[in-house]
Amino acid sequence: MRVELTGPQYDFVTATDRFPALVAGFGAGKTHAAVTRAIVLKLQYPRQNVAYYLPTYDLVTTIAFPRFIETLEAWGLRYKQNKNDKMLHVEGAGSFIFRTMDAPERIIGYEVADSLVDELDTLPEDKARDAWNKIISRNRQKKPDGSVNTVGVATTPEGYRFVYDRWVRQGGPGYRIIKASTLSNAANLPEGYIDSLRATYPSQLLAAYLDGEFVNLVAGSVYPEFDRALNASAERIQPGEALHVGMDFNVGKMSAVVHVLRGDDPHAVKEYTGVLDTPAMIALLKREHEGHRILVYPDASGASRKSNNASESDLALLRAAGFGVRVNPANPRVKDRVLAVNKMIHSEGVRRYRVNPETCPELVESLEKQAYDKHGEPDKAGGLDHVVDAAGYFIAYRYPIRKPATVIKLGFAT
């Protein structure tokens, strides 16, 4: 079986370093390289096992298993699948053991000769460090030729977090970084994929997600392109028009942002902050906006959260009040919600998200001032998060980030 690899993929698959890390942009083929490296190592040392790690169990079942099965079948290797134990047994060549990193304390009870870690840097830094220490402690099966046990990492850089700290700041023998930009895999990507990345992500993230570079995602504004003048709106609520209300649940600090549509562009025209609870917010919206159809885009966690003095969930209360409720089964990742807002604020020279600074002064302040904390997450300590989160739930639902689809081709990274 002839396997075609890009230059960075080949360097990673064949690396003999103890801890090689493929730091790559979106679509650069890091998962393909990781799966290929895992199978190559398995065939080199059929009596030893290989572990493959992903952040969550869902990713094991939806990403790892299908990729491994596709590649094993393409290479003509027979296997048996054990989903309960999260293992693949290859005929005559031992086993692949799949584990998650969301609970590092569960990385126990087995030994392997080599490991692959996919998207290590997406974990919070402390959890990534705990998982890493557990993973390398499992790598202790001896190889018949005496070569070193290896742990290869394939990840998108997420700022100056664990991978940067361990591979760049600390470094040391065996810690090798292999950079891979999305452009290195351009021949295997759908037409327009790279242009769509440029259109989707703000400039400060393109170095990370297109070029695979470590950049500072912690310092600076969460919404760097927002400009109170350029994104300003003079719109007001018109009689009888539908209102689109983003809502954040926090007892004693509930927030809602009322939007109207002009064409398909959203304008924030009214805000409510510091409201006691959901019943109080319902009463306020009904009183202030009588005669309007109200569509609420809330925090998805309201399905289970109980409001003060209420036996029903927040979402049930909103529906019982006659509001249309638009909510996904779970909240989008914070990163995706922020990206959705940033894209509407400014993308390809167009500013679609507008805010009336006279009627939404706190939202304007939050869009201008909210920064990232030391963990690379939007800061919540400064009190700027509630109203902008409320607006963000509406934007992320109605104008979600749709990441460019990639095409899986045998022998090529996607």
Per-residue pLDDT tens digits of the chain, which is 414 residues long = 678 899 999 999 999 999 999 999 888 999 999 999 999 999 999 999 999 999 998 899 888 999 999 999 999 999 998 878 889 999 988 899 999 999 888 899 999 999 999 999 989 889 999 999 999 999 999 999 999 999 999 998 877 789 988 998 888 999 999 999 988 998 888 888 888 888 877 666 777 778 887 765 555 688 988 888 899 999 999 999 999 999 999 888 999 999 999 999 999 999 999 999 999 999 999 999 999 999 999 988 766 555 543 346 899 999 999 999 999 888 888 989 999 999 999 988 899 999 999 999 999 989 988 888 777 788 888 788 999 999 999 999 999 987 554 443 433 333
Calpha distance 353→230 (Å, rounded): 10
Is residue 24 helix, strand or coil?
strand
Task: Evaluate whether residue 158 is within a structural domain.
Answer: yes
Helices (H), 121-248: 125-138, 162-163, 193-200, 203-209
Structure tokens given for 124: 């919070």
Q: Are residues 95 and 179 in the same domain?
A: yes
Q: How many CA atoms lie within 13 A of 12 on its CB side?
A: 33
Q: Are residues 17 and 121 in the same domain?
A: yes
- Under 8 Å between Cβ of 243 and 237: yes
Residue 339 maps to which CATH number?
3.30.420.280
Q: Are residues 149 and 38 in the same domain?
A: yes
Its domain, for residue 178, covers 7-209
- Under 8 Å between Cβ of 400 and 340: yes
Name the pTM for this structure: 0.59
β-sheet with 324-325: strand ranges across: 324-325, 294-298, 243-248, 254-262, 265-275, 354-355
**Whose structure tokens read 């393409």?**
74
Q: Are residues 178 and 248 in the same domain?
A: no
Q: Are residues 287 and 191 in the same domain?
A: no
Task: Evaluate whether residue 30 is within a structural domain.
Answer: yes
Task: Evaluate whether residue 234 is within a structural domain.
Answer: no
Structure tokens given for 129: 């460090």
Calpha distance 298→247 (Å, rounded): 4
C-alpha torsion angle, residues 183, 185, 188, 191 (rounded to 10):
-10
Calpha distance 197→26 (Å, rounded): 8
Task: Evaluate whether residue 263 is within a structural domain.
Answer: yes
Task: Evaluate whether residue 161 is within a structural domain.
Answer: yes
Calpha distance 304→154 (Å, rounded): 36
Q: How many CA atoms lie within 13 A of 390 on its CB side?
A: 31
Number of domains in the chain: 2
CA distance readout (Å), 329 to 244, 363, 391? 19, 26, 18
> Residue 334's Cα: distance from chain center in Å?
7
- Under 8 Å between Cβ of 355 and 233: yes
Q: Are residues 392 and 332 in the same domain?
A: yes
Is residue 30 helix, strand or coil?
helix
